[in-house]
Amino acid sequence: GESVGLHLPTLSVQEGDNSIINCAYSNSASDYFIWYKQESGKGPQFIIDIRSNMDKRQGQRVTVLLNKTVKHLSLQIAATQPGDSAVYFCAETLNTGGFKTIFGAGTRLFVKA
Amino acid sequence: DAMVIQNPRYQVTQFGKPVTLSCSQTLNHNVMYWYQQKSSQAPKLLFHYYDKDFNNEADTPDNFQSRRPNTSFCFLDIRSPGLGDAAMYLCATSRAQGYEQYFGPGTRLTVT
């Protein structure tokens, strides 16, 4: 069925290293993708998005890569900081007569000082 | 600052006792969403309003209802809460469908 999933449920990185969080999606009709960050006790927070007509988008310390051929999405965080510790969700949106957003399972990122 | 506000942050209700959660926004966004999130799981969309048009997800139980009296406010009504309805309830908004969503801090519901 349609789903968005992550390869790694937890990721532990050393402070200052780069982090890569991966996401696989199965719906080829999805045309908009978002990464959210959720800290403990808070709602998800928008990080970066990308539309299907692009394969890379950069923000401040974050980069999202989209590979439509293999239906893969990744979030790269440069120089990971303790404040980056959170759960990261990818979400895909598709328009099948009405918009539908599907969240992936989430990856917990631990940053070791 | 423009934002999404949820009240209360914590709600305790008894099994079977109706409860209402509220959400307000100062972003003037057209779309408002309600999600249920259980521990260590992804948010699950219950329904959303696009302006006054209500859109229910196919697998949302009838026990969950929503009202949007105006652009700024949206309510989640749980008519007869069960123990399985204990969760974090997240409200979100977006300027239109297919755009990024802005989330409130959530209301954690406990059912006793």
Question: With 90 as the cut, is the pLDDT of residue B2 above it?
Answer: no
Q: Given an 8 Å threshold on Cβ–Cβ distance, is A104 in contact with B102?
A: no
Q: What angle do CA B11, B44, B31 make, to 5 degrees?
A: 85
Contacts of A105 in chain B (CB under 8 A): 41-42
Mean pLDDT of B95-104: 93
Interface size between A and B, measured as CB pairs under 8 A? 46
pLDDT of amino acid A2: 37
Q: At a CB cut-off of 8 Å and minimum separation 6, what does A56 contact? A: A50, A63, A64, A65, A66
Helix H or strand E segment including A7: none
Determine whether the interchain pair A89/B42 forms a contact, defined as Cβ–Cβ distance below 8 Å. Answer: yes
> Is the pLDDT confidence value at B91 over 60?
yes
CB contact under 8 A, A43 and B104: yes
pLDDT given for residue A55 in this prediction: 97
Looking at residue A9, its pLDDT comes to 84
> In residues, how long is chain B?
112
pLDDT at position A100 is: 84
- What does pLDDT average to over chain B? 95
Q: Which residues of B touch A93 (CB under 8 A)?
A: 98
| pLDDT score, position A30 | 93
Tens digits of residue pLDDT in B27-81? 999 999 999 999 888 999 999 999 999 999 989 999 999 999 999 999 999 999 9
Q: What is the largest distance, in Å, between two alpha-carbon atoms of chain B?
A: 37
pLDDT above 90: residue B1: no
**Which residue does chain A place closest to B101, by CA atoms?**
A46
Q: State residue A8's pLDDT score.
A: 47
Task: List Cβ neighbours of A72 (8 Å cut-off, separation of 6 or more).
Answer: A22, A23, A24, A25, A66
Q: What is the pLDDT of residue A7?
A: 46
Instruction: Give me the amino acid identity at B24.
Output: S
Q: Which residue has the higher pLDDT, B15 or A26?
A: B15
B43/A103 Cβ within 8 A: yes
Of the candidates B77, B33, B21, B76, the residue with the CA atom closest to the CA atom of residue B57: B33
**Regions of chain A with pLDDT less than 50:** 1-3, 5-8
- The pLDDT assigned to B10 comes to 96
Residue A43 forms contact with B (CB below 8 Å)? yes
Q: 3-class secondary structure for B24-61?
A: EECCCCCEEEEEEECCCCCCEEEEEEECCEEEECCCCC
